[in-house]
Structure 1
Amino acid sequence: MRVIENIISDRGSKYAVSGAPCGSEDEAKALIKELMHRKKFAKATHHSWGLIADGVPIKNDDGESGAGMVILRMLEREQLQDHLLIVTRWYGGKHLGGDRFRHVQESVRIYLADLRG
């Protein structure tokens, strides 16, 4: 699994982005469980994710309302299928409002750029 940590910090909240080839929702859940074996990630507040497996969009906001859809839209634009993308947030105590969506988008952009090399 590709993990990029400490990519965004805003008002105490910190973000990381991770991903891996993945072909199903069950496989996605297993990969997220694997990620959470890392002590730092187990303490995160949200693990929002998106996946397009066999042409079917699958997402989970994990309490970060709307974040999964943001990830899915970006995966669709990139035509990236069978690849799980997870945006992790450690809540810093202050609400970010609409900025949280910009941070999710930027996290996905960083991952996609790294994936392309």
Structure 2
Amino acid sequence: MSLIVLDNVLSDRGSKYAVAGGPAATREEADALLKELKRRKKFAKATHNTWAALLPDGPVKDDDGEAGAGMVILRMLEREGLEGHVVIVTRWFGGKHLGGDRFRHIQNCVRAYLDEIA
């Protein structure tokens, strides 16, 4: 598996964000990449590891407690036409709620990842 990890993509009011991902043709492969990421203690301790993928048998996503985050990632993957790839946005909660800004941060993380693999 080729997991790409971009750490410390951005921070806001104490919350820190990272993004990771890699090729995944099935839900099992997507789960395996998430598991590989969580082998890193820092990511295992994160508040949220939200992710999405456009797979041959349909889109999948998981908010991991960050309501709506998976759909934000999924929409960006659909716009880019990036199929067979899982993208995971990780957030370490910094103690202050970010409101709608958190969706912009998720988009910025996904954009950083898409730029990295382009």
Report what 2:32 is aligned to: 30
Report what 1:69 is aligned to: 71
Helix, strand or coil for the counterpart of 1:94?
Answer: coil
Q: Which runs of 5+ in 2 are unaligned?
A: none
Q: CA deviation at 1:27?
A: 1.4
1:52 is matched by which residue type in structure 2?
L
Q: CA deviation at 1:28?
A: 1.0
Report what 1:90 is aligned to: 92
Query: In structure 2, what is the Cα distance between the partners aligned to 1:55 and 1:81?
Result: 11
Task: List structure 1 runs of 4+ shifted beyond 2 angstroms.
Answer: none
1:50 is matched by which residue type in structure 2?
A
Query: In structure 1, what is the Cα distance between the partners aligned to 2:42 and 2:62?
Result: 20
Query: In structure 2, what is the Cα distance between the partners aligned to 1:35 and 1:113?
Result: 20
Does residue 8 of structure 2 align to residue 15 of structure 1?
A: no
Report what 1:78 is aligned to: 80
Query: In structure 2, what is the Cα distance between the partners aligned to 1:25 and 1:88?
Result: 19
Measured on the aligned residues, the alpha-carbon RMSD in Å equals: 0.7
Query: In structure 2, what is the Cα distance between the partners aligned to 1:27 and 1:42?
Result: 18
Query: In structure 2, what is the Cα distance between the partners aligned to 1:55 and 1:26?
Result: 12
Q: How many residues align?
A: 116
Task: Output one character per residue of 1:60-85: Cα deviation in whole Å (capped at 9) or x when no partner.
Answer: 00000000000000000000000000
Query: In structure 2, what is the Cα distance between the partners aligned to 1:9 and 1:80?
Result: 26
2:19 is matched by which residue type in structure 1?
V
**Structure 1 length normalisation: TM-score?**
0.97
CA contact (8 A) 1:51 1:59 kept: yes
Report what 2:104 is aligned to: 102
Q: CA deviation at 1:55?
A: 5.4
